[in-house]
Amino acid sequence: MTINAEPGGRGKGGRRRKGHAVHGWLILDKPSGVTSTAAVGRARRLLDAAKAGHGGTLDPLATGVLPLAFGEATKTTRYLMDSRKSYRFRVRWGVSRATDDVEGEVTETSDVRPTKGEIEAALDDFLGDIAQVPPKFSAVKVDGKRAYDLARGGRAVKLAPRTVRIERLALLSIEDEDHATFEMDCGKGTYVRALVRDLAHALGICGHVTALCRTRVGSFTLNDAISLAELEALDDSGAAQQSLLPVARGLVGIPGMPVNADQALRLKVGQAVPLVRPAIGLDGSDLAEGTLWTCLMDRPVALVELGAGVLKPLRVFNF
């Protein structure tokens, strides 16, 4: 997702946007109670950046890794959104809520509590490719409208199941009979709230999420993150920009390929580049056909499609 325009451009309502050309990634440790869009806006103002977006939405109540893209990094957000994500979350057994988290009204209760053995035995059924129905209160669109808007308006919301992938799901601790903490590694489109809802049903009880932290998106982890409070404490936009990571960090999941100056120039003006020898990656390995990113002296040049020995530019980076 990308918001706002380049310097001198106009946004909604014809308002002139301000800001400078700032390029790179800021990994925010998002606080609870702030929407992803609001977090982008606050960080953009602090960096005095003309163009910004994010690499995957977090629920307002969730915390943790929210990758913010600035300038040319916004051209890579779709690839980051497709990458693997990791979460740590706490479950409250015995109570279901309309939103599948602490915000919604109570819809069901149960006196039964699962044992550690029962929980661990149930986890295997949620590994691999599984069918998952998103929560009613989610950003999934139904007839062009967000499901959460329909649900908040009292409309009946029926969402179709989608295939998601869960690579790891582990029980970390049981705090008491009502609460347990888990970790999960998963693919694009997986809802933790839906997982908890379905896990509770599989155990013959009910439950909801009480705390949720995203610990990883692609190559970005909490170790890379800065809090909004820390960002706001910096003296000026120049100091804040020192927290930026290179644009290429958002491309870790895509093979990279070096090009020479002539090839870089041709790609930047939108021309295809025939290769006279097999494509070799940055790590020295042979590259298969598909999407790559090219670089000149470690500086990203363009996202390209490799096919039949030809590099075709998809998105060009303009630094």
H/E segment holding residue 314: strand 310-316
CA atoms within 13 A on the CB side of 289: 5
The string over 76-95, giving b where at least 16 C-beta atoms fall within 10 Å of a residue's C-beta and e elsewhere, is bbebbbebbbbbbbbbbbbb
- What are residue 63's DSSP bridge partners? 213
DSSP assignments along 79-122, one per residue: HHHTS-EEEEEEEEETEEETTSBTTSPEEEE-S----HHHHHHH
Task: Compute φ and ψ for 25, nearest 5 degrees.
Answer: -110, 135
Which spans in 132-256 are helix H?
147-152, 192-202, 228-233, 237-241
Task: Compute φ and ψ for 91, nearest 5 degrees.
Answer: -115, 140
101 is known as an active-site residue: no
Contact 306, 255 (CB under 8 A): no
Out of 29, 59, 100, 198, the active site residue is 59
Round to whole Å and give the CA distance between 297 and 301: 10
Q: At what angle do helices 192-202 and 116-123 cross, to 10 degrees?
A: 120
- What are residue 108's DSSP bridge partners? 96
C-beta neighbour count of 117 within 10 angstroms: 8
Tokens of 316: 């060009």
SS3 30: strand
Tokens of 51: 């163009």
- Catalytic residues, by residue number, are 59
